[in-house]
Every structure is written in C-alpha cells, then in structure tokens.
C-alpha cells in the first residue's frame, strides 16, 4: 500500500512543477520577445495581446490536463491499496469457529474479565504488551494508568478483539473471546475513546446512536454523565443542533455527550479511555459518584491520567513499556510504583481542593 502511495506522490511532485515551469517560461518568452518586436515596429500591440489571450487559453487547458493527471494517479494508487486489502490472506486467528456462542449471564463467582499471560506485538518484532494478567469480577472497577505508549489502549483493543492475542488468552465469563460471536461480544460493551466523534444532528440523535432509545433513557444518561447541566442552557435541550464533529461544543461538553451515549445503552462492561480528560475536577468527581451510585453492577475499565479518576477503583494497574509495573488498590500501587506516587503527589493539591466532591 505504501509503495503505491509513494509512487503516486512522486509522479505528482514531478509533473506539477514541470508543467508550471514550461507554461510560465513560455509566457515570459512571449512577453519579452513581443515587446522587442513591437519596439522595432515588426508587430502591433494588438497582435501581442491576441497572442497572449490564445496562450492563456492553452495554458488553462494544459493546467486542467495536469489536474486530471494528478487525480488519475491518486485513483490508481487507491485502486492498488483496495486490491491489496481484498486479496489479503485470511488470518486464521480471526476466523469465527462454527461453535461460537453467546457469553451467557454474568455470575458473581466467575470473573467477568480475565487476562491470562497475554502478550502481543503489532509488528512481530518487539512485544507491545508482555505477560499481562489480571482478574476483574462483575461490578468491579479497574483503573489503568501509565505514560504514553505504555500499552493502555492496546490492552483495550485486545479486549474488544480488534486484534487477537499472540500469547495467552482473554476470557469473558470464563469463555475465550475468540469463541464468542462478534455481535454478542460487542453488545457487552459501552465504550468512550478520547477522540470519538459526534455527527451533525441533534443531541438526541447523537446519544441515541440509532438504537431507538426512549427519551427517558436518554435523559437519564445525560443526567448521569453530567451533560444535563449545560444542555439546559442550550436552545432546545436534547434537540439542540450539533455541528459536524461537535465543533460548536467545548471539549468537556463533547466528552459528556460521548459518555451519555455509552451510558444510554446500559452496558454490562463500560470502558472509558481517557474519556474525562477535558472535565474539571469537580465535574469529574460528580461523574464518578454517579457511576458508583447508578452503575454499581456494571464492570468498568477506566484509563485515566488523573489519579483522582481511578483512586477509588477496586484494582489499579500502572503500566510501563507494555508491562504491569504495579497492581492493587490505590494504597498498594502508591507503595509499589515510584512514578505513580510522584504523579499522585503532584496532583495532591487538586485532590484536597475537591476532596468533598470526590468523597
């Protein structure tokens, strides 16, 4: 794919300047030579102007042909990329077995999510995740923290089966996720990624997301996600019209609507990947309280950069270089991880400022 794209870019980069050089060199030559001939009386000014008019017509036509050539090159490159995708060999690991089934009901005695010695590499050279193991029971919350590139989002993508593990296994309710029907697996999750999208339309349609949810469910979700406060100030409330990508909202308002969308489906497993980074500490604290009060039966995985967002989690994982460097509750990770402890101390002042809201 990369080869076709580079070849197209090279051809465009070569042809466009070449055509422009030829055309504008010709135009300059006509002006200089014409001025000299008019000066010695061999040509009239009108003849030069007429010639320039014809030359400009020809120039515009050639520029149009150049644009068509550029479009053609891009199209050829796109066709080659599509062909490579269509002819790509099937990954046997991605084949759904004939006996694939649903996940069954949640059982408090069976782990809701279990990672067993999971390792994974995108390029097959160096492990991006290495020997990841943890157990999460129904209704528990797992907090994940770590520097950029430590493998936090990769862990989530493996859980969603966007990629398959290369070593170890991931179990949901005791079943390997590779033996679960894709639709049954996806129906378990409510997910908010940091860069999720909002489309042009009403708030109601964005939260509903084509699921045919009632106004009552949508209203409850926006209230629990702390979106009802700012929606009350918007003209139309749930019928307030969003611009494409939600550009007429602030970052925090966008995140609250995305949280509303996830909560409206009453998911059995809630995944928040840095989904409250744009919220102020007090709003974030109110959100976490609402999650504890109204979604206590929901199993949650929260990736965050704020210690305050995960400090009340049943388990906290601190990741570095694709590995778990510390795991346990807040106090345990404070003892075991120096980096987590440093982050916590830097944010401690903000915790005290909002201690009453966070409690």
pLDDT computed for residue 356 by the predictor: 44
Cα separation, 257 vs 221, in Å, equals 9
Minimal CA–CA distance to 333: which of 153, 170, 134?
A: 134
Tokens encoding 201: 């339309």
Is residue 201 within 8 A of residue 207, CB to CB? The reply is no
Tokens encoding 228: 């009802």
Question: Sign of dihedral through CA atoms 168, 169, 170, 174?
Answer: negative
**Domain map of the chain by residue range?**
2-86, 113-358
Minimal CA–CA distance to 111: which of 187, 182, 175?
A: 175
Cα separation, 261 vs 62, in Å, equals 51
Instruction: Report CA Rg, the chain.
Output: 30
Is residue 136 within 8 A of residue 112, CB to CB? The reply is yes
**H-type alpha helices, 160-294:** 182-186, 203-208, 215-224, 228-231, 251-264, 281-294
Looking at domain 113-358, what is its CATH homologous superfamily?
A: P-loop containing nucleotide triphosphate hydrolases (3.40.50.300)
Tokens encoding 317: 């994982």
The neighbour count for residue 115, using CB atoms within 10 Å, is 23
Helices 2-39 & 45-86 angle (0-180, nearest 10): 180
Q: What b/e sequence results for 139-162 when a residue is b if at least 16 CB atoms lie within 10 Å of its CB, and e otherwise? A: ebbbbbbbeeebbbbbbbebbbbe
Q: What b/e sequence results for 219-233 when a residue is b if at least 16 CB atoms lie within 10 Å of its CB, and e otherwise? A: bbbbbbbbbbebbee
Minimal CA–CA distance to 127: which of 96, 158, 95?
A: 158
pLDDT computed for residue 74 by the predictor: 80
Cα separation, 299 vs 302, in Å, equals 10
Is residue 185 within 8 A of residue 113, CB to CB? The reply is no
Kindly report the backbone phi and psi dihedral angles of residue 166, in degrees, each rounded to the nearest multiple of 5, phi listed first: -100, -25
Residue 160 CB contacts under 8 Å (≥ 6 apart), including other chains: 185, 186, 189, 191, 271
Cα separation, 351 vs 60, in Å, equals 65
Cα separation, 272 vs 304, in Å, equals 8
Note down pLDDT in tens along the chain; length 359 residues: 556 566 667 766 777 777 778 778 878 887 888 888 888 888 788 887 887 788 778 878 877 887 888 788 788 878 888 888 888 776 555 556 555 667 778 888 899 999 999 999 998 888 999 999 999 999 999 999 999 889 999 999 999 998 999 999 999 999 999 888 888 898 999 999 877 889 889 999 999 999 999 999 999 999 999 999 899 988 888 999 999 888 888 888 999 999 999 999 889 999 999 888 888 888 888 999 999 999 999 999 999 998 988 989 999 999 999 999 999 999 999 999 999 999 998 886 654 445 444 44
């Amino acid at each position: 794919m990369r080869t076709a794209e580079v070849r197209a870019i090279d051809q465009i980069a070569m042809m466009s300047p070449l055509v422009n050089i030829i055309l504008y060199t010709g135009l300059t030559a006509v002006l200089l030579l014409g001025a000299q001939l008019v000066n010695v009386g061999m040509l009239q000014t009108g003849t030069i102007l007429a010639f320039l008019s014809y030359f400009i017509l020809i120039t515009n036509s050639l520029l149009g042909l150049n644009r068509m050539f550029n479009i053609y090159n891009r199209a050829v490159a796109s066709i080659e990329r599509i062909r490579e995708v269509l002819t790509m060999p099937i990954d046997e690991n991605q084949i759904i077995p004939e006996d694939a089934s649903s996940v069954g009901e949640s059982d408090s005695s069976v782990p809701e999510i279990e990672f067993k010695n999971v390792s994974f590499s995108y390029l097959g050279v160096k492990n991006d995740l290495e020997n990841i193991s943890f157990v999460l029971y129904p209704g528990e919350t797992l907090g994940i923290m770590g520097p950029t590139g430590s493998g936090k989002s990769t862990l989530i993508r493996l859980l969603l089966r966007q990629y398959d593990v290369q070593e170890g296994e991931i179990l949901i309710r005791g079943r390997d996720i590779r033996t679960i029907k894709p639709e049954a697996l996806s129906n378990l999750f409510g997910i908010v990624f940091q860069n999720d999208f909002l489309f042009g339309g009403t708030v109601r349609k964005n939260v509903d997301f084509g699921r045919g949810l009632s106004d009552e469910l949508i209203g409850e979700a926006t209230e629990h996600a702390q979106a009802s406060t700012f929606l009350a100030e918007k003209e139309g409330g749930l019928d307030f019209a969003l611009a494409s990508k939600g550009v007429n909202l602030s970052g925090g308002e966008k995140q609250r609507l995305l949280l509303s969308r996830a909560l409206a489906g009453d998911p059995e497993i809630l995944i928040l990947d840095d989904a409250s980074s744009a919220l102020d500490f007090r709003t974030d604290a109110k959100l976490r309280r609402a999650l504890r009060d109204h979604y206590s039966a929901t199993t949650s995985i929260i990736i965050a950069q704020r210690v305050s967002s995960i400090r009340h989690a049943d388990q906290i994982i601190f990741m570095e270089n694709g590995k778990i460097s510390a795991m346990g509750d807040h106090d345990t990770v404070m003892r075991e991880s120096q980096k987590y402890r440093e982050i916590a101390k830097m944010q401690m002042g903000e915790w005290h400022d909002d201690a009453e809201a966070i409690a």
